[in-house]
Amino acid sequence: SAVISQKPSRDICQRGTSLTIQCQVDSQVTMMFWYRQQPGQSLTLIATANQGSEATYESGFVIDKFPISRPNLTFSTLTVSNMSPEDSSIYLCSVVETGANTEAFFGQGTRLTVV
């Protein structure tokens, strides 16, 4: 199974600032996804990170607020821009490996608190 490293694991940020979260995988993967988990809630898909092209965002999420990069098959970043306390959540990276094994694997998440 893919091993996923997310950085930072947690952060406390001032409102109005931006935070970039990194997701590094130890193998080439076909698909990479970013999720948000608000306190006490289930996971909500933010976007699919496409290698070499613009990310595909889900309804309710926009590129200006959550710009995503995916420069290669093993790395992606999610930026939370112009943060407000409502952005306080856990942000998780998920990957689906290349090949027949299509189970998704998740990083441990980035716990963000906006004050």
Partner 1 sequence: DAKTTQPPSMDCAEGRAANLPCNHSTISGNEYVYWYRQIHSQGPQYIIHGLKNNETNEMASLIITEDRKSSTLILPHATLRDTAVYYCIVRPRYGGATNKLIFGTGTLLAVQP
Judged by CB under 8 A, the residue of 21, 80, 92, 112 near partner 1 is 92
Closest CB 22 distance from partner 1, rounded Å: 15
Q: Residue 34 has which token pair?
A: 């970013």
Among the listed ranges 19-27, 65-73, 81-89, 95-103, the one in contact with partner 1 (CB under 8 A) is 95-103
Asked if 70 and 23 touch (Cβ cutoff 8 Å), the reply is no
By CB under 8 A, the residues from 30 to 89 that bind partner 1 are 30-31, 33, 35, 42-45, 48, 56
Tell me the backbone φ, ψ of residue 10, rounded to 5 degrees.
-160, 155
CB neighbour list of residue 53: distance below 8 Å, 6 or more residues apart = none
List C-alpha distances in Å: 90 to 4, 35, 51, 68: 15, 8, 23, 16
Closest CB 23 distance from partner 1, rounded Å: 11
Site for partner 1 contains 12 (CB under 8 A) = no
Site for partner 1 contains 106 (CB under 8 A) = yes
Cβ neighbour number for residue 32 with a 10 Å cutoff:
25
Binding site for partner 1 (CB under 8 A): 1, 4, 30-31, 33, 35, 42-45, 48, 56, 92, 94, 96, 102-109
